[in-house]
């Protein structure tokens, strides 16, 4: 093998191809119950996965054994989403078994690529936030930091997107249908979780008045464990996802009443809690089931950590010496009153004691700036589902507001502004405020975002507690998104600077001199060309999509949101098209380009769905128009997911990061593209700011208003109509859409997009249009100079080391967690 094999537990012989073959055939016969000759690809995939799982589980047990003796402080990452992507390739990489497994499969007459393609990725997240959680647990394992990731085992992950007549249609994601070989179910460790009911006060044995919760119903939380292996270091951390089932007690009571059908319904009711991932990633609807999900996983996780990890002997006054709970956005914030309830109601702490502990055990990461994306729970809903928690929140709020009164005497406006409980339009709990009050630290996810968080979203809080606020810029794992997804580039890099970069990405700096090396640049281009060819194969097989040959690959992949401005990208394309068909632009002078989109719209987000329809309509019209001569090709493969990202990103030349400045908290796709040698066309938003600072202006296509300029234009009053009136090309593009040209002559189909753009344009696409078109012209010029472009691309890779999620984890450890690596 060309790669070292992870340290095995003492006494284990090193793996060999023969041994691997034996183990694989054993799994096939004993687990799948089939012979190699009669086995299906799914049997073969499951047996291969099982073989890798066996190898990892030995290390997993070792890791836990060590932890039980050393008792280090660990991280509990609380996240409602983990967008893991396929596991097999990653686990082969982490164990160093890739080459052995490939050879072993070959000896069995199998192609490992076919087996790997059989895996359905666990899509247990919406987008950036869920993928970030997956990158973070990968990095922590690789950096030898003890961590448990806690979350939800949704039976259906993010929906599978299909297009019917260019419109999005959602299908359920049945990721478990063919069996998931990576999970370890532990029904014997089920935890009962209560809901509803009332609270009552009583006098305890010491004559102290106390409160208790008399719940009305409950469910069981069943833990499913997943292994999170570090890269070639023998550590295997745990991801523990909870699945809801009906409790026996619940069933029995109803069975005893003789109503069998009702009892079965009760079961369904319980199982509903983890049935499906909510596909909204902004403007959360205050859905009761969503709150049930949040409390369910958080209550399971706290109980699990306190009772099973720490055990009954542990003195909970010292809780912060053993754990920090990192809140991935506000989704798990109900953990704060839950910990208070455990300490006060169940463990007999007095309030102040409990609050002192709680405040040290939580830290909060915010991932948004959009006001409508801030989670708020109506008081009546919270009171119905979690009456005791609501009461605890009220008390936290009272004491907090007393503190504000003391700091700002007489400032009643401020007190009303800062209250955790909003009074208008309806009484509701502001989860971000609760998280900020309870958290020992609050962080944004890129420098600009953290600044805006302090200044615009939580200004009163940052005045009160300036030292609470910090930044940790996001990162992505170089194992999955470079080493695994781009084997060609990885090998080229390693041939130049060795393999150390995989766990120390700043070493990519050593590539800088190679940007000046014509031979290296040529090899670099060959890698891109091969990645493009592989992408073409995938798109043909997957969707029957044929891209243009020898075209620039321009990619915009991310959730569909108006603030991300897929419409601005469309206006660029439609402008080029309109200029060509009206004879003002000779297609022979246009740089041939493939424009690839990938985007899911939340099912209830109508404008987003219309934009998807428009992208598809423009695509089929432009692709079929002979006047274009094939220089513009638009592709919108459905169901963009982690698996497709791993194919698209390594092939890309140009990365589109074009959100309105001040709207994208960070972006993480932007980092993956840079790492794979795409150049960015982008606004000064989110982590683009840091990307540009690192690669330099000459290696980045900046356009558009800055955040302060956006704020200024907003303040003086924005009128998109003036841009429409005064810019001929812009007007031409918008009018072409409005004319029905892309909708069989029907002006109504995209009428609301056009009207919205010209009259409202909340995210100011028209204001940035001219600047974007300019930047695209600079892109064309730059791309024409192949050697210069490659030089820039190499420098982009060389300067991407900062965006490793290993660095993000170091920053969290230093600035927030105080957890030393446990070597």
SS3 content of the chain, % helix, strand, coil (to 5): 55, 15, 30
DSSP state string for 784-819: HSHHHHHHHHHHHHHT-GGGBHHHHHHHHIIIII--
Closest to ligand 26Q by CB, 643 vs 659, is 659
Min dist CB 557 to ligand 26Q, Å, is 13
DSSP string covering 224-236: EEEEEE-SSSS-E
Comparing CB distances to ligand 26Q, the nearer of 450 and 616 is 450
CB of 327 to ligand 26Q, least distance (A): 13
3-state SS, residue 167: strand
Assess whether 468 carries a catalytic annotation.
no
By beta-carbon proximity to ligand 26Q, the closer residue of 290 and 799 is 290
> Among 145-153, 198-206, 277-285, 382-390, which window interacts with ligand 26Q (CB under 6 A)?
277-285
Does residue 128 touch ligand 26Q according to CB under 6 A?
Answer: yes
Burial 339-362 (b: 16+ CB within 10 A, else e): bbbbbbbeeebeeeebbebbeebb
DSSP string, 615-664: HHHHHHHHHH-GGGTTSEEEE--SS--HHHHHHHGGG-SEEEE-PPTTT-
Q: Considering only residues 473-492, where is the footprint of ligand 26Q by CB under 6 A?
A: 474
Indicate the residue among 331 and 647 with the shorter CB distance to ligand 26Q.
331
Contacts of ligand 26Q in 648-677 (CB under 6 A): 664-668
Compute the least distance from the CB of residue 421 to ligand 26Q, in Å: 18
For residue 560, give both structure tokens.
């569909």
Token readout for 87 is: 């596991």
Per CB under 6 A, the segment of 3-11, 128-136, 163-171, 223-231 that binds ligand 26Q is: 128-136
Cα–Cα dist 356/527, whole Å? 56
Which 39-68 residues touch ligand 26Q, going by CB under 6 A? none
Task: Output 146 or 669, the one with its CB closest to ligand 26Q.
Answer: 669
Q: Catalytic residue among 564, 600, 729, 807, which? A: 564
The structure tokens 């924005």 sit at: 718
Q: How far is the CB of 660 from ligand 26Q (least distance, A)?
A: 12
**Which of 32, 126, 699, 790 touches ligand 26Q (CB under 6 A)?**
126
Helix (H) or strand (E) holding 78: strand 74-78
Angle between helices 786-798 and 518-543 (to 10 degrees): 90
Residues from 283 through 322 that contact ligand 26Q (CB under 6 A): 284, 290
Least separation in angstroms between CB 290 and ligand 26Q: 5
User: What does the radius of gyration of the chain's CA atoms come to, in whole angstroms?
Assistant: 27
Q: Is 525 a catalytic residue?
A: no
14 class by beta-carbon count within 10 Å (0-12 exposed, 13-18 middle, 19+ buried)? exposed
Q: Give whole-number Cα distances, 768 to 698, 709, 751, in Å.
A: 20, 11, 21
Q: How far, in Å, CA of 671 to CA of 796, rounded?
A: 10
642, with CB counted inside 10 A (0-12, 13-18, 19+), is buried
Candidate list 439, 686, 720, 738; residue touching ligand 26Q; CB under 6 A: 686
Q: How far does CA 202 lie from the centroid of its chain?
A: 45
Chain residues 361-420 in contact with ligand 26Q, contact rule CB under 6 A: 367, 375
User: Could you say whether residue 792 binds ligand 26Q (CB under 6 A)?
Assistant: no
For ligand 26Q, which stretch binds (CB under 6 A), given 122-130, 568-576, 593-601, 689-697?
A: 122-130
Q: Hey, which residues between 504 and 563 contact ligand 26Q (CB under 6 A)?
A: none
Which residue shows structure tokens 């030995």?
58
Q: List the catalytic residue out of 131, 672, 729, 799.
A: 672
Asked if 326 touches ligand 26Q (CB under 6 A), the answer is no
Please confirm, yes or no, whether 330 is among the known catalytic residues. Answer: no
Stretch touching ligand 26Q by CB under 6 A, among 126-134, 225-233, 401-409, 512-520: 126-134
Concerning whether 561 is annotated as a catalytic residue, the answer is no
Catalytic residues: 367, 558-559, 564, 668, 672
Contacts with ligand 26Q by CB under 6 A lie at 126-129, 132, 278, 280-282, 284, 290, 331, 367, 375, 445, 474, 664-668, 686
């Amino acid at each position: 093998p060309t790669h070292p094999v992870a340290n095995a537990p003492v006494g284990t012989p090193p793996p060999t191809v023969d041994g691997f073959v034996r183990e694989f055939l054993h799994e096939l016969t004993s687990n799948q119950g089939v012979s190699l000759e009669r086995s299906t690809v799914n049997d073969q995939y499951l047996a291969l996965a099982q073989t890798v799982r066996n190898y990892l589980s030995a290390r997993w047990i070792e890791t836990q054994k060590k932890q039980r003796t050393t008792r280090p402080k660990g991280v509990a990452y609380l996240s409602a989403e983990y967008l893991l992507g396929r596991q097999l390739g990653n686990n082969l990489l982490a164990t160093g078994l890739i080459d052995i497994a490939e050879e072993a499969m070959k000896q069995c007459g199998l192609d490992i690529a076919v087996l790997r393609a059989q895996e359905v990725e666990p899509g247990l997240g919406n987008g950036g936030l869920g993928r970030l959680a997956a990158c973070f647990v990968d990095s922590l394992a690789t950096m030898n930091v003890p961590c448990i990731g806690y979350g939800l085992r949704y039976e259906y992950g993010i929906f599978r997107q299909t297009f019917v007549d260019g419109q999005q249609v959602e299908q359920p994601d049945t990721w478990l249908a063919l069996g998931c070989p990576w999970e370890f179910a532990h029904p014997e460790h089920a935890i009962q979780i209560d809901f509803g009911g009332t609270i009552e006060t009583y006098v305890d044995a010491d004559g102290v008045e106390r409160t208790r919760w008399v719940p009305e119903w409950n469910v069981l939380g069943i833990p499913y464990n997943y292994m999170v292996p570090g890269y070639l270091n023998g550590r295997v951390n745990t991801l523990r996802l909870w699945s809801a089932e009906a409790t026996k007690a619940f069933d029995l009571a109803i069975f005893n009443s003789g109503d069998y059908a009702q009892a079965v319904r009760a079961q369904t009711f319980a199982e509903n809690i983890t049935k499906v991932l909510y596909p909204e990633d902004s403007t959360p609807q205050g859905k009761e089931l969503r709150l049930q999900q949040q409390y369910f996983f958080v209550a399971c996780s706290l109980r699990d950590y306190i009772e099973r990890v720490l055990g009954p002997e542990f003195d909970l006054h010292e809780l912060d010496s053993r754990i920090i709970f990192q809140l991935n956005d506000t989704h798990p914030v109900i953990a704060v009153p839950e910990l208070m309830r455990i300490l006060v109601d169940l463990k007999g702490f007095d309030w102040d004691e409990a609050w002192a502990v709680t405040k040290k055990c939580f830290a909060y990461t915010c991932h948004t700036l959009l006001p409508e994306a801030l989670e708020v729970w109506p008081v009546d809903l919270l009171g119905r589902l979690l009456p005791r928690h609501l009461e605890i929140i009220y008390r936290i709020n009272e004491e907090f507001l007393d503190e504000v009164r003391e700091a700002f005497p007489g400032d009643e406006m401020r007190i009303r502004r800062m209250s955790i409980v909003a009074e208008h339009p309806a009484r509701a709990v502001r989860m971000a405020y609760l998280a900020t009050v309870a958290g020992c630290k609050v962080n944004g996810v890129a420098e600009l975002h953290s600044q805006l968080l302090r200044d615009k979203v939580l200004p009163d809080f940052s005045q009160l507690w300036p030292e609470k606020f910090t930044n940790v810029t996001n990162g992505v794992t170089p194992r999955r998104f470079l080493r695994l997804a781009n084997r060609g580039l990885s090998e080229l890099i390693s041939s130049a600077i060795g393999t150390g970069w995989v766990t120390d990405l700043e070493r990519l700096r050593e590539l800088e001199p190679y940007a000046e090396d014509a031979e290296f640049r040529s090899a670099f281009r060959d890698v891109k060309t091969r990645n493009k060819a592989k992408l073409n194969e995938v798109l043909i097989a997957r969707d029957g999509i044929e891209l243009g040959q020898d075209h620039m690959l321009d990619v915009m992949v991310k959730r569909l949101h108006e603030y991300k401005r897929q419409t601005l990208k469309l206006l660029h394309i439609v402008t080029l098209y309109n200029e060509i068909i009206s004879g003002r632009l000779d297609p022979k002078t246009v740089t041939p380009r493939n424009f690839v989109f990938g985007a899911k719209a939340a099912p209830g987000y109508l404008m987003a769905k219309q934009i998807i329809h428009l992208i598809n309509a423009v695509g089929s019209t432009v692709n079929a128009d002979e006047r274009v001569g094939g220089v513009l090709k638009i592709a919108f493969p459905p169901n963009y997911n982690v698996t497709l990202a791993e194919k698209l990103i390594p092939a890309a030349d140009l990365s589109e990061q074009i959100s309105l400045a001040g709207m994208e908290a960070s972006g993480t796709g932007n980092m993956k593209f840079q790492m794979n040698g795409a150049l960015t066309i982008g606004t000064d938003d989110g982590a683009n700011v840091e990307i540009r600072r690192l690669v330099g202006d000459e290696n980045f296509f900046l356009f558009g208003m800055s955040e302060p300029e956006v704020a200024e234009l907003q303040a003086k009053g924005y009128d998109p109509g003036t841009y429409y009136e005064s810019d001929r090309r812009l007007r031409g593009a918008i009018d072409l859409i409005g004319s029905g040209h892309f909708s069989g002559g029907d002006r109504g189909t995209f009428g609301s997009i056009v009207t919205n753009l010209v009259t409202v344009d909340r995210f100011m696409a028209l204001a940035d249009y001219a600047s974007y078109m300019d930047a695209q012209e600079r892109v064309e010029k730059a791309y024409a100079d192949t050697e210069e472009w490659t030089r820039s691309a190499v420098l982009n890779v060389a300067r991407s080391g900062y965006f490793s999620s290993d660095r993000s984890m170091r920053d969290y450890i230093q600035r927030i967690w105080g957890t030393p690596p446990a070597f």
